[in-house]
Amino acid sequence: MKILTKFESLKELKSEELESILHKHQRWLLSCGEKGKKADLRGFNLQKADLGRANLEKSYLCNSNLQEANLQEANLKDADIGGANLKKANLAKANLSRANLEEANLEEANLMEANLWYADLRRANLTEANLLKVNLENANLKDINGKRIIIFQAGKAIASYVDGWIKIGCKKLSVEEWLKKYKDIGIKNEYSEEQIKLYGDFIKLCYQLDNNNY
């Protein structure tokens, strides 16, 4: 007898049922909760669902199966996605600010240019996830799996390194570009000599990590 896994045993949802839930959720958002109904998709199988550009702000998606789902440019601000399976999901340019992604499986997910400002990623699995140009400012990255992410601050601006890219303040460049330009950028933005040196040391460390020299 086959033993069902956590996500194989989830409830199924017809496309027209999903459309109805999304419509009611939109009304709920626009009326500040007075009309419609907040989307509750906890425990549903949404594998390969097309939710591109969907407005799922503040929705419940925890413990759902979103493997290979299309969530490109979706609004998932303040959504509860904890424990969900997002393996190979497309989350490019999605708004995940303040979203709960605790213990979510984001293995091989595409998070390119996604906004994860203040998102909770504790114990999330980011193995082979695409984090190119992602915004991780103030995200909770405690005990994440599968990625090397470094956050650094020397008084003036938060710096983050992930997948060969460094963001310092509002400026994001490749590690190689920062190596060439960090002094000039620091002077232009009125950083002190000490701050320029500290950020320079951080950039050099990231370069060593990129080239497996550390």
Question: Tell me: the pLDDT tens digits for 181-196?
Answer: 999 999 999 999 999 9
Tell me the torsion sign for CA atoms 13, 17, 18, 22: negative
* CA–CA distance, 5 with 108 (Å, rounded to integer): 20
Return the CATH fold of 1-146: Pectate Lyase C-like (2.160.20)
Q: Where are the domains of the chain?
A: 1-146, 148-214
* CA–CA distance, 10 with 158 (Å, rounded to integer): 40
Question: Tell me: the pLDDT tens digits for 61-72?
Answer: 999 999 999 999
3-state helix, strand, coil in the chain (%, to 5): 20, 20, 60
Can you state the angle between helices 193-210 and 175-188, rounded to 10 degrees?
180
Residues 63-83, buried b or exposed e (16+ Cβ, 10 A)? Answer: bbbbbbbbbbbbbbbbbbbbb
Q: In one letter, which amino acid is 127?
A: T
State phi, psi for 175 to the nearest 5 degrees: -60, -40
Global confidence as pTM: 0.77
Question: Tell me: the pLDDT tens digits for 3-19?
Answer: 335 656 688 999 999 99
pLDDT above 60 (res 214): no
pLDDT above 80 (res 1): no
Going across the sheet that includes 171-174, the strands are 150-153, 158-162, 165-168, 171-174
